[in-house]
Every structure is written in structure tokens, then in C-alpha cells.
A = this chain, B = another copy of it.
Amino acid sequence: MTPPLHLSLAGQAVDVLRELVLTGEIPPGTRVNEVELAQRLGISRGPLREAIRHLASEGLLVLAPHRGASVPTADAADVQALFELRTALECAATELAASRRSDADVVRLRAVCEESRRAYSAGERFPYRLDLAFHQALLDAARSPRIAEQVRLVQQRVVLLRSALRDDPPHQHASLDDHDALVAAVAAGDPSRASDVMRKHLARVCAQMLTSLG
């Protein structure tokens, strides 16, 4: 039998609180009240504090001494710094993916791209879910668990800002093309081209976010 992944109240609180932050139910700038939230979750302040600190270590909350935790707000400089980190990590992961990918990885990547195009053609907004799935599939192909973990954390922080990407068809179309180009380079086993495409893709996304903010 697999040991239960988290039965601890603190672990559950991490999951619930993460969702509350990522879905925007606790919007950026909001301060978190420990006693109130503890009652809402039906737990004591101890486990909740541990959950809060954990989320803070992931960058989803910021702590101020004697003033508690709040959901971070980002300015242009923050976005730039965040994308410098994301670019460093994802370009490296993309290079590794181009070197290490299996046939199954390529199949998977193509499938995600096709599903994205279907959804886009069907008039849906480009589902963020599929964008994440694509990047996740790329990370799987890279077979570097630590880099994958760090990328996951950075992407989480980006999700906090994703309101900036809603409803921009040109940007979404460009992203679909980027993804296709990425898959082609990875499938061809060309790390430097793949990395280059990724760098440009992220630069576009970053620029898009900066204009949407400022």
C-alpha cells in the first residue's frame, strides 16, 4: 500500500491555501488572518502557520514581521526578474529535452500541441491548462527532476499574474506557433535551436505581461 501522501493537517492546509491563492480567491495584496483562516479550515493555528510558511517559501505569500502573510503584488521589475529565472531554467530544460527525448516524449508533445490548436480553433480561449501541460511534457522529456521542480515553482508565481494574458488572440496564436517550433527542434535533437526558440517564446510572454501591467 502506498503511504498516504499527506494526511497531516498542515499538508492539507498547504493544498487548500495554495488553491485559494492561485485561483485568486485571495487576491494579491490581501493580508491573511491566521485565526480567521484557521477557523475557516477547521484547524488550529499551528498547522496553518506551517502551511503559510511553506507557501511563503514557494513565493506564493510574503511575510512581514508581526504583520503576517499577504499575497504578493508584482511590479515590472519583479516580472523581469522572474522571467530571467524562468528563462534560465526552461532554456536549460529545453536543451536537455532535445538531447534526451524519447519517441514517446515527442508523441506526447505533438498530442498536446494538437489539442491546443483544436481548442483554439473551436473558439475557446487558449486554455492555460494546455499551456502548462505542454511545458510539463517538455520537462518530462528533459529528465532533470530538480530543474523540473524549480520550473514548477516559477510557473506557479507566473500564474499569479496570468490575468494579464487573458483574451489576447494574437499572443495566443504566436504561442501555439512557438510550441510547434519547439517540438520540431526537440524532435530533431537540436538543443541550441530548441533553446533559442524557448528563449524567444518566453521573451514574448514576458513582454506581453509587461505591457498588460504598465
**Hey, which chain B residues are within 8 Å of A8, CB to CB?**
65
**Chain A 12-50 interface 0/1 with B at a Cβ cutoff of 8 Å (1 = within):** 000000000000000000000000000000000010011
**Hey, which chain B residues are within 8 Å of A93, CB to CB?**
88
Number of interface residues of A (CB under 8 A): 28
Given contacts A8-B65, A50-B49, contact A84 B92 (CB under 8 A): yes
Q: Which of B6, B49, B84, B145 contacts A146 (CB 8 A)?
A: B84
Interface centre among A49, A57, A85, A89 (most CB of B within 10 A): A85
Interface residues of A (CB under 8 A from B): 3, 6-8, 46, 49-50, 53-54, 57-58, 65, 81-82, 84-85, 87-89, 91-93, 96, 144-147, 150
A-B contact pairs, 24 of them (CB 8 A): A3-B65, A6-B65, A7-B65, A8-B65, A46-B46, A50-B53, A53-B53, A53-B54, A54-B57, A57-B57, A57-B58, A81-B144, A81-B145, A81-B146, A81-B147, A82-B146, A84-B144, A84-B147, A85-B144, A85-B147, A87-B92, A88-B89, A88-B91, A88-B147
